[in-house]
Structure 1
Amino acid sequence: MLDLSQILTYSLALGIAAAIPGPGMAALVARSVSGGIFSGFCVLLGLILGDLTYLSFAVFGLAMIAEHFNALFQLVRWGAALYLCYLAWQFWFANHQAIEVGKATNKKELLSAALSGLTITLGNPKTIAFYLAILPLVIDLEAVSLQTWALILMPLTILVLLGVGALFIFAAVRIRHLLSSQHAQQILFRGAATIMIAAAASMLIR
């Protein structure tokens, strides 16, 4: 069972890591600006699912198993990097249009937003580094039971990421009127694309 100091340390470390600009938050802001609150929260849902996946890997030691299958690990790493490059290409050459506040978003777009959030997180070097390198320094993973994982770490991770992500979403929606022009959207999306390219390069270098 985790004590209060470990819970607070984990929450603080996760909150700081989530707030640091990266491909996930870049996509979250871009989607929130272009699609509104619902699109933003769908991306956030995908981001949270990705984090929960790596949290589970770290807790149950699956990351250590993966290290023994170097060829598979390399394949996954290259696949994630290529996907980030693909997303960067889409963001860079996106066809920007005037933002219509209150426009309904269809289910296909919301599903696409959620899947984008999930895949971005799974290929995000920052997320991988946090759960596989920083997390063991914050929490004694050998002492984490199934009950602790399910009743404390999972809900805590969801709450922290939901809180941080919601701040980014509402801030992005708040300034939508400033980004209504095609030029402003182009700057935003190309900035997000640049972050994704940097993340892909970082993944391959590491």
Structure 2
Amino acid sequence: MDLAGLLLFSSALFIAAASPGPGIAAIVARVLGRGPEGAMAFSIGVALGDVVWLSFAILGLAALAQTFHEVFLVIKYLGAAYLLYIAYKLWTAPAASQEVEANVKAEHPAKLFMAGLAVTMGNPKVMVFYLALLPTFLDLTRITMLGFAELVVATLTILGVVFAGYIALATRARQLFTSPRAIRFLNRTTGTVMAGAAAAVAAR
């Protein structure tokens, strides 16, 4: 596809991805409360969810997405339920940092990946961007397989940069909390943020 169209898409996606939403809130809250371990698996799930919506938009499957509305509702509520589970674990986590780190290792990457995917599939902001706004940036009827591959690469690259930035900032901020009281405050604050992300996903 032409460079101008790819740059326009990339710029719009960067702005949309960098704007805090349920996905970003979940990533940041999880890193603040549990550390960066597992954040990559969760973020990959979030990013691949974007690729799914991109594919729907390019293949003209917005109508199909509406047809399988019930399926997406199930995915959305499963994602919201898992976020609530993480929120509960954060709220009730021990104040000792070494115990928190031990709990992180028990989480399977596949579970985190599926949670991230479910969050994106149920995120209204992502759906609107790809199914409603993307056709205003690009002529989707003229995109070739090569053009689709370029869009996928651009999507994963931009989301990787954005997510890595948020993870790095959250990791840095987490290092400031060292006392048991500060760790307890951080766990409960991030648990509340995670619950808010779950509510945002489930309510739309």
Q: Give the AA of the match of 2:151.
A: L
Task: Give how far 1:19 is off.
Answer: 1.2
8 Å Cα contact 2:14-2:162 kept in structure 1: yes
Task: Give how far 1:179 is off.
Answer: 4.4
Task: Give how far 1:93 is off.
Answer: 2.3
Q: Output the CA distance in 1 between the equivalents of 2:36 and 2:82.
A: 21
Q: Does the alignment pair 1:93 with 2:93? A: no
Q: Output the CA distance in 2 between the equivalents of 1:32 and 1:121.
A: 18
Q: Output the CA distance in 1 between the equivalents of 2:136 and 2:121.
A: 21
Alpha-carbon spacing, 1:65–1:200, altered in 2? closer, same or farther (3 Å): same
8 Å Cα contact 1:88-1:197 kept in structure 2: no
Q: Output the CA distance in 1 between the equivalents of 2:100 and 2:73.
A: 39
Q: Output the CA distance in 1 between the equivalents of 2:122 and 2:45.
A: 12
Map of 1:200 onto structure 2: 202
Q: Output the CA distance in 2 between the equivalents of 1:96 and 1:130.
A: 36
Instruction: Give the one of 152, 155, 172 matched to 2:153.
Output: 155
SS in 2 for 1:157: helix
Identity over aligned residues, as a percent? 34
Deviation string, structure 1 residues 77-136 (Cα, Å, up to 9, x no partner): 432442244134324422223333995754743222212111111111111111101111
Q: Number of aligned pairs?
A: 196
Alpha-carbon spacing, 1:36–1:101, altered in 2? closer, same or farther (3 Å): farther
Q: Does the alignment pair 1:174 with 2:172? A: yes
SS in 2 for 1:100: helix
Can you give the 5+ residue segments of structure 2 that lack an aligned partner in the other structure? none
Q: Output the CA distance in 2 between the equivalents of 1:100 and 1:167.
A: 25
Q: Indicate the RMSD between aligned Cα atoms, in angstroms.
A: 2.3
Q: Output the CA distance in 2 between the equivalents of 1:55 and 1:146.
A: 13
Give the TM-score normalised by structure 2.
0.85
Map of 1:146 onto structure 2: 145
Map of 1:8 onto structure 2: 7
Q: Output the CA distance in 2 between the equivalents of 1:162 and 1:62.
A: 26
